[in-house]
Structure 1
Amino acid sequence: MRELVVLGTASQVPTRHRNHNGYLLRFDDEVILFDPGEGTQRQMLLAGLAVTPLTRICITHFHGDHSLGLPGVLQRISLDRVPHPVPVHYPAGGQEFYDRLRYATSYWDNADIVPSPVGAAFVAETSAGRLTALPLRHSIETYGYRLTEPDSRRMLPERLAAHGISGPAVGELQRTGRSGDVTLEQVSAARPGQSMAFVMDTGLCDNVFALADGVDVLVIESTFRAEDAALAAQVGHLTAGQAAAVARQCGVRQLVLTHFSQRYPDPSGFLDEARREFDGPIVIAEDLLRVPFPARR
């Protein structure tokens, strides 16, 4: 299963309909929780999600709407005695904030939580592919994340049968690239890997484009509308139009807009603004929405 489960879509101030941030990515066996803001544990309950499958947590920066839910999630991981290590990635410069959140209250610590600070050269190999991070432009140290699945090949049964290859010989072919005189290329087709970028709380900068380049799914903040572009630039945020322009220039397949300021009660304006810049699929994120990955290219 490959999908994004949206847990919260507000920015600094939650509303009656929008919780603080929280995004859970299911990518086959990899389950990543991004930016657990206040109330994330309850939102996971409402979405029918448990903490046990979590394989890692990624924090973009230590503003409250992106990290105040971390203590509750970590304590629930401990309470449920999650049996595997759970790395937590966060900006290295925010170590003091991580330390405070890690032990915000007293509890029985029964989990293997692995602190994994992020720097400009951060790379982590996951079961789904390579997780990288790049610094963004905000009022405090902030990173965006990108998950990239490696390219692979899809076996073609009719070609395998034509060459008389079956059983263990198929595994040998996949491992070594050859079975007798038959090569992997003769009995398979290229299968491009999929990718996803997660970009929160930033003004426009080169790394926004680097993270978004060619991804299948771009989850990106669009805190403001065009009429407040000057304010967005001042505080290090994007407008819906800017986020959509990034998607267009980077060849993004599916755009997910989120992190909306409470000053805009009608979300349709974000879609109208984004549509003027990007003609691909656009999702205006809502709390508890499930966004499936698009089919492979």
Structure 2
Amino acid sequence: MSARDLVVLGSASAVPTRFRNHNGYLLRWDGHGLLFDPGEGTQRQMTLAGVSAHDVTWICVTHFHGDHCLGVPGIVQRIARDGVPHPVHAVFPASGAVYWERLRHATAFVDTAVIDERPVSGDRAEIAAGPFTLTARRLSHPVESYGYRLEEPDGVTMLPAELAARGVRGPLVRRLQQEGRVTTRGGRTVTLEECSVRRPGQKVAFVMDTRLCDAAFELADGVDLLVIESTFLDEDAALAAEYGHLTAGQAGRVAARGGVRRLVLTHFSERYRTDDEPRFAAQAAAAGFTGDIVVAHDLDRVPLPRRRRAPAGGGRADG
């Protein structure tokens, strides 16, 4: 089975600690690897996590504060050094193009031609990305910052009992999937709707540095996995608002309203101690979120929840 999971490469905010590296998140998705916000030290964290430059097919930068992008030079140079042959698409705010250029060519090295730059601008941008769509939405932060949403199209799950009852077997099954309608040897016309249920595509959202805003709620709506900053605890909400960040409770509120299935809290301020960690999860839950909560740690691997499957009679259910 193809892997779909999140590899946490770093979970600190502006200042790394003894236990938390700067940001870095690799979303593995059926042979694609989306590297979000590679902060300082990401290249080494990838080695510790057992992933390589060859696993990276996308680099997505939310904004150009150092803890979200200072790892770009090392990643790009590693891609070049290791001879990665496939395109690596780079998505970043167009307003920060000067910073991207400085990071992209930070030092002398034998360059690579595989980096495909795709700057985004405006309040919303949608990027066709093969098996999924990548949507960028502008957030609320002192510098221009974007959140990202990855979404695959809905599919179908075939129902063997219904196929057998209608005499659809062998090559006819594939034709039914492709064409939506087949005629059996007995002359019966069978439709795809009779023999399948809708399989909702999986969705993941990354919401990094931002205050509460409509875009954060839109990105999180209906996703299976939400990776979201929770820089501060709720008692420090004034600081969060001043610096353009979320509290744990606010992150929980975004997840609750969106019906998120698994919530990953990350980007923690260095002001908090290890024994404060349970409070982040508790405050997210107190905001009304009742799904799975993961307080991220470096080198964690967080699987996507199992696929949802719509029952034959309509509606949605986990499958």
After TM superposition, the score normalised by the length of structure 1 is: 0.97
2:120 equivalent in structure 1? 118
2:311 equivalent in structure 1? none
1:145 to 144, 148, 166: 148
Alignment of 1:110-259 (within 5 A): 110-120=112-122, 121-180=124-183, 181-259=189-267
Moved more, 208-217 or 171-180: 171-180
2:285 equivalent in structure 1? 275
1:25 equivalent in structure 2? 27
CA distance in 2, matches of 1:238, 1:138: 10
Q: Report the 3-state secondary structure (helix = DSSP H, G, I; strand = E; otherwise coil) of the residue aligned with 2:27.
A: strand
CA distance in 1, matches of 2:131, 2:264: 20
Cα deviations by residue, 1:13-40 (Å, 9 ceiling, x for unpaired): 0000000000000121321000000000
Q: CA RMSD in A?
A: 1.1
1:53 to 27, 34, 55: 55
2:11 equivalent in structure 1? 9
Moved more, 105-114 or 154-163: 154-163
2:296 aligned partner, one-letter code:
A
Cα deviations by residue, 1:157-177 (Å, 9 ceiling, x for unpaired): 222223232333222211111
CA distance in 1, matches of 2:201, 2:112: 36
CA distance in 2, matches of 1:167, 1:123: 39
1:286 aligns with 2:297: yes
1:145 aligned partner, one-letter code:
Y
1:75 aligned partner, one-letter code:
Q
CA distance in 1, matches of 2:36, 2:218: 19
CA distance in 1, matches of 2:155, 2:281: 35
1:66 equivalent in structure 2? 68
CA distance in 2, matches of 1:96, 1:110: 19
Cα deviations by residue, 1:60-110 (Å, 9 ceiling, x for unpaired): 000110000011111111111111111100001000000001110111113
The alpha carbon displacement at 1:267 in A equals 1.3
CA distance in 1, matches of 2:284, 2:112: 45
Q: Report the 3-state secondary structure (helix = DSSP H, G, I; strand = E; otherwise coil) of the residue aligned with 1:267.
A: helix
Moved more, 46-55 or 272-281: 272-281
CA distance in 2, matches of 1:51, 1:168: 40
1:151 aligned partner, one-letter code:
D
The alpha carbon displacement at 1:215 in A equals 0.8
Alignment of 1:34-45 (within 5 A): 34-45=36-47
Alignment of 1:81-120 (within 5 A): 81-120=83-122
Q: How many residues align?
A: 297
After TM superposition, the score normalised by the length of structure 2 is: 0.91
CA distance in 1, matches of 2:305, 2:99: 36
